[in-house]
Structure formats: structure tokens, C-alpha cells
Structure 1
């Protein structure tokens, strides 16, 4: 039997690249392509994908959620960001065949710059146009053309051909309703709001491809992609009709009835007919009267279908609509974070007791499993919102580390423990990170932890004008680290969905600008998660989910309106890890007030003999801190 290892996969793929025979491209004088671009996204440009769509992982071995692979006949490269440098180095298969391109470092060229410098003259680069957004495809194509090369869409996916019969089958799980008591707004009202936006922008057709946008619009939820309550479908809205492209056999009767009761009577089509329908639909449109709203975030492959009519390519109105939570969603998100915080408090209390008072061995995996069990005890629990990052010592420096049977190690009192986890509840989505030490940290670990906390505090307490871009706030969280020459190579915050994707576009707080960021507005939820990572030694990250709320200010310049954050996560920060002498009075007051709130909200939920351990831990962890020789009472 042939050993289908990484080298075999690359060899097979390169053989296919030599025999590609694209048609209709005048620049191609002979068969074959000189380079192939492989992504890990699906046809909806989802951040996380099903096993079937993890082509980047299949061909490279790299399992991270972000990165782009470029294959040449004599080279194989992976571009990924700072979250995944260490992970990629350990997973690329075979390591000697791959070059890791550390995106975000000053000396790392972009994909197109590297290709321009390394491809033979007049080379042809191929890719699956279904798996790359219109924005990214256009950027790549223009840069390659400027360098004398070309980018072409392939008629078949070459990685799929290498994968063959071993490629997992598509997922097609049941679709269920998201009840109005959780969504707070009917599907009919959301459709109406979309049509109002369409008319304001002079469009008569709206194409919706993002899976979380479709789930939000229809008040449906699914489970096609792990951890994300979405399902595979497309939606096309006209000013009169709602067209849904999905296998109807997947729809529960409850989902169908709720959609009708909420004022939407859709026309159904097969999922696979999206291209056929769009082409036939466009043919019946008038160039003068009709204009299609199709986001540049959608796949490049969809855009040629509408080449004969006018296009509006802004992000869809649903993107902003779902980012600004309504009153019902805000209540649900707050309640979900309270219950989730109860689970975390129970876990950390249990874990500390096991480490300090027993000989029982708790590992990264068994710890994560116990945490999930505590979450399962909470009302409205559906599942995790991502794989729990349960990481000890050096593993904490691997920013998106996920323990495996091969890497699993005990959690002890000798090293830092970083736990980044979250859950999906019917009324909300959570994401929280805490770093703890159950023994004596080094002075440097303590300093790093304190500087990370100072950054989180600085961002959480900031007051800023309405619609400030998240990108402008990023430096606040890094200021204390930058001052001593430290930094972290990931964003500071991401949008959080309401029983939707834990990473929700288009908002975020990062050193990289979010091009479609509409600006922060009241009702948005974002994470606040600065960190620091010492390769091979430890990682520190603190993460809370914040709600954007109106700020109370003595002035309101030109009636602009000012905002701030309200922290949803209610899990104590380990004060024994702090160097209190580094904290300002304001930071001490902030933390003490935060801990008062943690205790006041969670204590009533930890009654009964079964919760004594958790309650004692909570009370201890929320004791006020003060500078030496100061006496700050609660």
C-alpha cells in the first residue's frame, strides 16, 4: 500500500499542476501552472471549516485556523501569523519540504511579492476561485499581473483530486429554530430592514453568502461546522421574494414553522443550484433598472455570474445588524456570561484543590474535559465555542495550542497554566482566558502578567467617541508591554456573536486595520485579550468579553456621543500573580471593584454544600489588594 504522507501528497499535487490545461486564457501558451494557492476556507469564506474543507491542513499538516499555502514545483510555503508560528513549525509535514513565512514580521514578504521575485517570467498561478474572496482574489491578481504573471481560476480543485476517496463527506446536519425569546427580533423584521438598506443603496437584489449572516437573518441555527451554530446555505433577497438555497430535507418542521410565523415565506432551491440560478436570474435583469448587492467578501467564483449587471460590493447590511445586539440579545449574553463564569470558578477551584491537596494527576486534556463538564451543568448549554486551549508552561507560548494525546502534560504548581475557553448557549456565546500559577512564579512571569493586566485594564476603562474604529484602540492594550520592549503578535479583540460565531466580523481591535469596521457602537460585544509569550517557556493572556455602552462624560463635544466598555466576564484575576507595586491607584481600584462585582453576582449562584469549594475559592480570589503599607478595605 502506498504511504500517503506529506511528501507523497506534494508529489501527487505537483504532477497534477504540470497537467492543468486551462482554457480561454490568452496568456497561457502551454499546459501547466507554475504555482498553486491553497487556503483553508470553504465556499462561504468561513474562518473555521469542516473536515472536508480543510485542504490547507491536508496538504501541509498545519491545523491552524489561519494561513495560506503556496506550492511551486520546487518549493512549498505557508504564510501564517504570530498566533501559529510555533504550531506550524511542529506540524508542517514533512518539515524539510516546507518554508514557514512569518506573516507580520518586517522581513517577511507578502505572497505576491515573494511570487514576483521567485517565479519564472510569465508564470501562471492557479487557485480554486470558490475558496477565495473577491477582495483577496482581485488583490492577488492585480499584483501578479503587475509582476508579469497571471492568476487563473481552476475548473477543479487539485487538492481534492489528491485527497480522493479519503476526503470526508459534506456535513448536512439538522437545522433548528433560534426562538424569538433569544433572538429578540423576527426574521421578517430583519428581512424588512435589509430591503430598506437595499433601497437606500439603489439595489434590487441582495446575495448573502456568510453562514453566520444567514443563520442570523433567518433565526435558524445548525451544526455543520464544529463549534459554530451555522449551516450550509445561500440566501438571495429581492424586494419581493426570499430565496433560500439548501437541502430542504435538513430543515426541521419547527424551523419551517417559525420562519413562516415570523413573516417569511421563502422560495427554496437546491444548495448546488446557486450558480445556475444566479446566471439565469441575472439574464432576466435590466442593466438600467437592477443592481445587485454582493459583498466583496463573498467568493470570487460568484462574481462572474453577475458580470452583466451593476454591482454594489459593500459588506451586507446583516454584518452590522448582527454586530449591534438588541435588548433581548444583550440580556441573553449577560446571563450566558454569568453562568459561564460560574463554571470557570468551579473549575479553577477544583483544579487548585487537586494540585495543592491531592496526588491525583490532572493533565491539560483531563482538565479541559472537567471544565466542559462544569459548563454542561449550566442552563441552555449547547457546546463549546472552540477547542479549549489548556496549556502548561511552554505550551502556553503556542497561542492557539490544543493538547493532544502526544503533547498532553500534567498541570502542576511549577509552571504557568493558560486556559482559553468558551461555550455556546442558546442565549449567548462566551470566550474567556485566565492565566494562573499554583506555586511561585518567577519575577519575570509576574512582571509579564502584571503588564498584560495593565493593558487589559487600560482598554476596558477607555472612553472614546462613537464609531471609533477598533484599530485605533489597539495600542492601549500594548502600551505597558511596549514600554519595556515586549509585544504580542495577535489582535487584541474580536467581535463575539450571540449564539453565533465566537469570532464575529466585521469589528475587531487589532494592530491590523479591519477594512469593513463600521466603528464601535453601543450594543457591540468584543473580546479584550492582551498577552505575552516567551517561546519555549510560558504564555500569559487575560481575556474578558466587553459590551460597548454609552459613557457618562461631563461634556459631549459637538454631540458626537462617547462610549466605553462594560465587562461581561466575571472570573477573578489571580492577584497572587500580580506585582502590585507596578499598579497605579486607578488600576488597583478597577481590579477591586471588578472583584466586588464578581463576588456579588456569583455568590448567590454558589449556594449549597456542593458549591462550598467554589465559593471559598471565589471569596479568597476576590479579596481586595493594596499597596504595601496601605489598607484598602472592600
Structure 2
């Protein structure tokens, strides 16, 4: 029997958008409020959320991974970042909801001019952080309005048929893949708490929960997480709060020596009990809900809102995690290379976006070890490729035409690592403009890959390297250049990133993406993405500790899209060396036909293509 696919291609519908907005307004009138904030979030501020938390998508039709709606009595607005400025207007009823790019105005600025004196803006304190609430408070104050936290979410009250909360099975992540036991991790966490004068840590980030207790779950799509909480006191036993039916007898036996296993429903009461004698409780600024701060303070504790120390620990991969990631990328590189060879042949006959998604998943399954895709594959031909986070549906599916570009951004979850790769390929003969733009993106990609920098350098300092060649031509892109990546965890993992907002110093062992791009609206999109590992670099004659990147991803780039004249000698040398490594590493495990294709696809740039 063929296993079910990890992706579906259902069509998001905004046909009921006006009806649902009006139902929400009716609920607002019933409680005497004038507006409601609907973030794309769950109680853990997750990027990918379970079906029962897809409130923003249900209400508006917008399916992006980030966004926030504000519904007032006579108007509604949806705020999206640069990834979704093209997608959002296609998905929502713009006669009912105004799409507002964050680059133009923030929700707080909009509320400052749209709320009226004396009005009340309601919100769900489980779906916003304390900082998020503080920003709303400042906006309301500016408008002469007030905020009102609600005990129950208003969208839930009008959402007929809302899915039940998830209760996926929780399993142990083997110590040989984790590279560190749970007692060792808890000892490190407690040392950090002692150093910071913290009595108890609330683990609200499911990624940190998974890392700290070497667990993996199945509560949300594409990321192996169990949704729950943990309390880790500086002294004494930790307590773990998960859905009881998700823990089988074997896992219970393994966990009970390490922590008290408590039902998730007991978390709020237990948290209040720890707050006696003005205990200092660390709440994660990124994922700790405002409701947690309210409960700590109501119980007499001190809510210390700051960074969960686990986040920084998790970001630096140990030797076992790095070895696993390299193995995963070898396996994934074989699958992607087989797919690219297939796509090259199939495109000549006409290949649809959905067919490409399904073929790539099939190649990954055949390679063995595939647990899931790490996010919904972005498969965009021609104009759809210009939508940065485009997700193909049966309504938008199109067949690539000669003279177009095909962008495919995908990743996989394996027990030993998480992958993320983007390749842009030519269908037929590309235009000179396409080759120019692709080569400029490639120059930026190579600049990041070749970068050498001193310890303490942040992603913001590196980000410009990827953009210089585009800037020289008056071009740019509206997303970051790189995000952190987990080890069989989230494909988007902080705190490290290569972006204008990347303020965290890069450290050896961190994994990031390297993905500059260029997008011509309604024409084509270009992105080149490999994953990279921060490593130490010894510079002869240097007097400072230096770092650089190892490229982990193994798959060829489309030589037909490269204009060699635009590349300098060092850039050409890097590309030829990368292709030689791809060829030498993957060829022994490929079938003859794919091996021959790869040989031609990775020829030195100075040679004519086969």
C-alpha cells in the first residue's frame, strides 16, 4: 500500500470570509467590545500550529506562517511581511479585509489611528507575549482606547466544527543522535538558572521541551514536536506536562526517573504553587504567553521575562548532531539530485507544480528514513515562483512553459537531521535578464559561503554580502538571507539568523540557511539555498579567532542560468569546487542515468555543457 503523502493541495477559500468576520463582530457586540486581535499563533507562539489553532486561516483565508488580523466594528486589516504581500491579496476577500504590508505600517501604528477614544480592543492573552501586549497597550493609549484580555478566544466561539486539540504520540529521541543525555542537559539548564538568579524556568517553547528531554512528537505538521510545558526548578525535580494519552508505558518508564509526569491540565495550578515566597520565574520572551505572566504575578511570584537559556544551548549543535546532519544531507542530496534529473527530462514534456512536489517526495521516500517534509514544498513555475512562500493548490497548479523558471524550495525531516534546499531551474531557454539576475543571486550566495569573519560577528553584519551584487543593479529582495535550522527539529530555529535583524553572534556548531533571491512580480522568482554550518577557521598570520561556513547541502546548480562573465575568478573556483564535491560525494550511490546527468550538470563552468 502506498503511504499517504505528507502534503495536501486543498484550496484555501475566502468565500466565507465576510460571513465569518461578521460572526466575529456579532460576538464582539455581545461582550461589549469594539475590536479583536487575531494573531497567527498558538499558546506557544509556534510558527507551525495545529489545526485547532489555525484561527487566522479560518477567519480570513490567509494560510501564511506569519500574520495578524485586527477586526473592528467597521473595518478589518491583515498585516503581513514581505514574504506574503503577493499571496495574501490572492487568498483573502479584499473587499472585507485590507491587506497591510508590515513594511508600510505596523499593527500598533494602524490601531493608533483607527481605534476611537473610549473603545475597547479585546485579545486572547494566550496568543500574545507580554511584549506583544505592551505594544498593543501603547497603541490603545495613543488612541484613548483600552485593552481587555478575554478568558476564552472569540474566534473559537464562532468556529463551528473546530478541530480537537492534538494528542500525537511522544517518543524518545535516542541519546546517540542527541549527543547528550537528559540529566546532562538538565544540569546545564540548572547551572544557567543559578547564574541568573532564577528559581524556576518555565519551558513554553515545544522545541526547547523536545531538546531538553530528548523527546519528539507529532502534534503539529512537519515538525516533530509534542505541545506541552515543563517546569525546571533550580533545585529539585523537573515536571513535564504533556497530554497523558500521548505517553506510552515504555516512555513513561524512561522519563519517570528524570521528571514528574503531570497532565497538561495541571500546569497552571502547579505554576501558581511554585510562585510562593516571591519566587523568580523565568518566562521565555519569545514563546511565553502573556497569560503565564498574569498567573505568576497573581500567585505572588516575580515574572522574569527574558531568554530561555535552552534556546542558545540548542542552537549550537554537538558532534553527534553535526554528524547526523551531514548524513541526512547526503541522503537528501541523492534524492534531490535524482529529482532534478527527472525534472530536467519531464519539463520538456510539461510538468505541473503538484507533479513536481509529489515526485520529490517520492524520491525522498525511496531514499529511506523520511519522517516528514520539513515544511510544505514551495513549487512555483513562472509567475508563481515570484510569490516567496507560494503554496501550490489544485486551483493554482500550473504547468511550466518553455522560457520560464521553476523554483522549488523543499526540505525533509530525518531522525538524524533536518534539511532545507532551494533550486531554481530553467525550463527551455532562459532570457538574458533571467541569467543576469540568477548570476547576481549566485554571487551573493557564494559571498556568504566564502565569508570569513571574527568571533562575535552577527548575522546582520553578514547579510549585506548577499545583496551587494543585486544592489549594484538597483535590485534587492524582501526577506532575510538565512535562518537557523534544528537537528530533527524545526526547519526555522532561532536565535541565529542572517538578516538585517540578526543580532545574535554566530558560534561554531550553529546551522543556518544561505538563501538570497530575486523576484520579478508576476514573472519569475529566483532563490538559491544551501544549509551551512558555522566552523572555526585558522588564518595563517592572523591574530584573531576567526569563523567561516561549511556548506552542508549537496545538489547541483543550473549552469544554464549562469553568466560566467559576471563571476570573478574566486567565485568561479568556488562553484567548480562545490560541483566537484557534489559529483564525487553523490555519484557512487546514483544509478547510471542519473550519474551521467550529474556529470554534465557539474562540469567546470569554463567547459561547454554536455
Note whether the superposition's TM-score is higher than 0.5.
Answer: yes
| Contact 1:350–1:613, Cα closer than 8 Å, also in 2 | no
Equivalent residue number for residue 10 of structure 2? none
Give the direction of change, closer, same or farther, for the CA distance of 1:4–1:597 in structure 2 (3 Å limit).
Answer: closer
Equivalent residue number for residue 520 of structure 1? 506
Query: Any unmatched runs of 5+ in structure 1?
Result: 21-31
Equivalent residue number for residue 364 of structure 2? 375
2:562 alignment partner, one of 561, 578, 596: 578
- What is the aligned length? 592
1:603 lines up with 2:596 in the alignment: no
1:242 lines up with 2:272 in the alignment: no
Equivalent residue number for residue 3 of structure 2? none
1:265 lines up with 2:258 in the alignment: yes
Q: How much has 1:124 moved relative to structure 2?
A: 1.7
1:10 lines up with 2:5 in the alignment: no
CA deviation map 1:490-547 (0-9, x unaligned): 1111000000000001111112x24xx5410000000010001111100000000000
Q: Distance in 1 between matches of 2:371 and 2:99?
A: 37
Q: How much has 1:112 moved relative to structure 2?
A: 1.3
CA deviation map 1:350-403 (0-9, x unaligned): 1212233xx4x5311111101101101223221100111111000000111111
Q: Secondary structure at the match of 2:207?
A: helix
1:215 alignment partner, one of 210, 214, 218: 210
Q: How much has 1:555 moved relative to structure 2?
A: 4.4
Query: Any unmatched runs of 5+ in structure 2?
Result: 1-13
Q: How much has 1:126 moved relative to structure 2?
A: 1.0
Equivalent residue number for residue 194 of structure 2? 199
Equivalent residue number for residue 134 of structure 2? 138
Q: Distance in 2 between matches of 1:547 and 1:366?
A: 32
Q: Distance in 1 between matches of 2:608 and 2:406?
A: 29
Q: Distance in 1 between matches of 2:323 and 2:401?
A: 38
Equivalent residue number for residue 57 of structure 1? 57
Q: How much has 1:632 moved relative to structure 2?
A: 11
Equivalent residue number for residue 453 of structure 1? 442
Q: Distance in 1 between matches of 2:302 and 2:114?
A: 38
1:625 lines up with 2:608 in the alignment: no
CA deviation map 1:244-288 (0-9, x unaligned): 11122211334334445xxx4311222122222212321xx322x
1:486 lines up with 2:475 in the alignment: yes
| Contact 1:177–1:254, Cα closer than 8 Å, also in 2 | no
Equivalent residue number for residue 350 of structure 1? 342
1:545 lines up with 2:534 in the alignment: no
| Contact 2:293–2:303, Cα closer than 8 Å, also in 1 | no
| Contact 2:111–2:139, Cα closer than 8 Å, also in 1 | no
Equivalent residue number for residue 187 of structure 1? 182
Q: Distance in 2 between matches of 1:345 and 1:413?
A: 22
Q: Distance in 2 between matches of 1:210 and 1:583?
A: 43
Q: Secondary structure at the match of 2:159?
A: helix
Kindly report the root-mean-square deviation, in angstroms, between the aligned alpha carbons of the 2 structures.
Answer: 1.7
| Contact 2:381–2:406, Cα closer than 8 Å, also in 1 | yes
1:276 lines up with 2:269 in the alignment: yes
| Contact 1:187–1:259, Cα closer than 8 Å, also in 2 | no
Q: How much has 1:412 moved relative to structure 2?
A: 4.0
CA deviation map 1:294-328 (0-9, x unaligned): 12221101001111223332211110111100000
1:613 lines up with 2:573 in the alignment: no
1:286 lines up with 2:277 in the alignment: yes
Q: How much has 1:556 moved relative to structure 2?
A: 4.5
More displaced 10-residue stretch of structure 1: 291-300 or 215-224:
291-300
Question: Structure 1-normalised TM-score?
Answer: 0.91
| Contact 2:83–2:388, Cα closer than 8 Å, also in 1 | yes
Question: Structure 2-normalised TM-score?
Answer: 0.94
